[in-house]
């Protein structure tokens, strides 16, 4: 089975590598072609255009930053998508962005599945993502081998394109919240004169514990933020989540606070670092 991967950021590179190791024929495209070098060495075909990448592919994966990028690439590649192929739209682009992409796909005769990825760099590189999908059931089944290779499980959110995006927004609200809450508690403990690591000791093994707090908390305590999920990427997602909350009538007080603290960390120069760098938005200015 040939798979085209459009977009080679952290997630795209990881997924493409997994598909190669699982025996798929993989074509890749990225605006900055240098990101494809390592994949080419593993056997991927590097395309110079999106249309070239999708030519002959049975499954297409778009893993891009925002809705405008997806619309641009879909518009450029649609004429080269094979009949019966499945386009897995895996970029987090919000409800409005997903609706716009679905409309364009339908007008171009492209079979679209909303295919969100839960997980960061390591799960993408090891095929351990949780895949959230929605769309025509027959298209989902056609793409099942690819979904199974990418993830440890697939959650079907319904037959309407957009349901998987809605579920991803709810899940990323949790990720943004628990990361920021961990940062706040560590910063508060330290500012009150404690060894901040005592907070992680206190919650360990209890009902309020979560492994994620320890993973991100360790990075915060070390103040080292190698990127698994870029802070500016989550900041973009929090904006999309807040828009969805406002449009659906859900109170967005917590989301607006999250927007503020992630924006503060970004303005302090940590936008390209891991989301754990939200800690830098909480620490007292003098410390």
Convert the pLDDT of each residue in 73-120 to its tens digit.
999 999 999 999 999 999 999 999 999 999 999 999 999 999 999 999
- pTM score, two decimals? 0.94
**Using 50, 70 and 90 to split pLDDT, how confident is the model at 206?**
very high
Cα separation values, 174 from 157, 236, 265, Å: 18, 15, 19
pLDDT in tens, 236-256: 999 999 999 999 999 999 999
pLDDT per residue over 130-181, tens digit each?
999 999 999 999 999 999 999 999 999 999 999 999 999 999 999 999 999 9
For residue 287, the model assigns a pLDDT of 56
Q: In sequence order, which residues have a C-beta less than 8 Å from that of residue 261 and are 6 or more positions away?
A: 180, 183, 278, 281, 282
**Residue 96: exposed, middle, or buried by beta-carbon count in 10 A (0-12, 13-18, 19+)?**
middle
Q: Looking at the domain assignment, is residue 117 inside a domain?
A: yes
Q: In whole angstroms, give the CA distance from residue 117 to residue 138.
A: 20
Q: Domain range for residue 249?
A: 166-281
CA-atom Rg of the chain in angstroms: 20
Asked whether residue 287 is assigned to any structural domain, the reply reads no
Confidence of residue 2 (pLDDT cuts 50, 70, 90): very high
| 233 phi, psi to nearest 5 deg | -65, -45
In a domain, 139, yes or no: yes
Is residue 60 within 8 Å of residue 3, measured between CB atoms?
Answer: yes
Residue 164: count other Cβ atoms within 10 Å of its Cβ.
26
Q: Does residue 286 form part of some domain? A: no
Find the mean pLDDT for residues 38-65.
97
Question: Are residues 29 and 76 in contact, defined by beta-carbon separation less than 8 angstroms?
Answer: no
Distance CA 80, CA 89 (A): 16
In this structure, the answer to whether residues 43 and 152 fall within a common structural domain is yes
The answer to whether residues 201 and 150 belong to one domain is no
Q: Is the dihedral of CA 78, 81, 83, 86 positive or negative?
A: negative
- Asked if residue 196 is part of any domain, the answer here is yes
Residues 148 and 199 reside in one and the same domain: no
The pLDDT of 246-274, averaged and rounded, is 97
pLDDT surpassing 90 at residue 222: yes
Q: Which residue, chain included where needed, has tokens 């200015």? A: 285
Do 13 and 140 belong to one domain?
yes
Give the mean pLDDT of the chain.
96
């Amino acid at each position: 089975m040939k798979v085209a991967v459009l977009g080679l950021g952290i997630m795209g590179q990881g997924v493409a590598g997994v598909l190669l190791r699982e025996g798929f024929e993989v074509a890749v495209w990225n605006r900055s072609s240098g990101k494809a070098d390592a994949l080419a060495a593993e056997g991927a075909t590097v395309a110079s255009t999106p249309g070239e990448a999708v030519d002959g592919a049975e499954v297409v994966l778009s893993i891009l930053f925002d809705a405008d990028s997806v619309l641009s690439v879909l518009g450029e590649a649609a004429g080269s998508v094979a009949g019966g192929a499945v386009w897995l739209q895996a970029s987090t682009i919000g409800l409005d962005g997903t609706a716009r992409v679905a409309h364009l796909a339908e007008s171009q005769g492209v079979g679209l599945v909303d295919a969100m990825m839960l997980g960061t760099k390591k799960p993408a590189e090891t095929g351990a993502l949780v895949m959230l999908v929605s769309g025509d059931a027959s298209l989902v089944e056609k793409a099942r081998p690819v979904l199974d290779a990418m993830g440890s499980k697939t959650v079907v959110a319904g037959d309407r394109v957009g349901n998987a995006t809605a579920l991803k927004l709810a899940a990323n609200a949790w990720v943004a919240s628990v990361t920021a809450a961990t940062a706040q508690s560590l910063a508060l403990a330290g500012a009150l004169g404690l060894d901040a690591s005592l907070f992680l000791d206190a919650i360990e093994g209890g009902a309020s514990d979560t492994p994620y707090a320890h993973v991100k908390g360790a990075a915060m305590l070390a103040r080292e933020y190698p990127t698994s999920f870029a802070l500016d990427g989550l900041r973009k997602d929090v904006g999309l989540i807040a828009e969805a909350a406002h449009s659906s009538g859900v109170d967005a007080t917590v989301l607006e606070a999250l927007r503020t603290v992630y924006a503060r960390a970004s303005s302090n120069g940590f936008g390209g670092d891991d989301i754990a760098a939200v800690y830098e938005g909480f620490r007292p200015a003098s410390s």
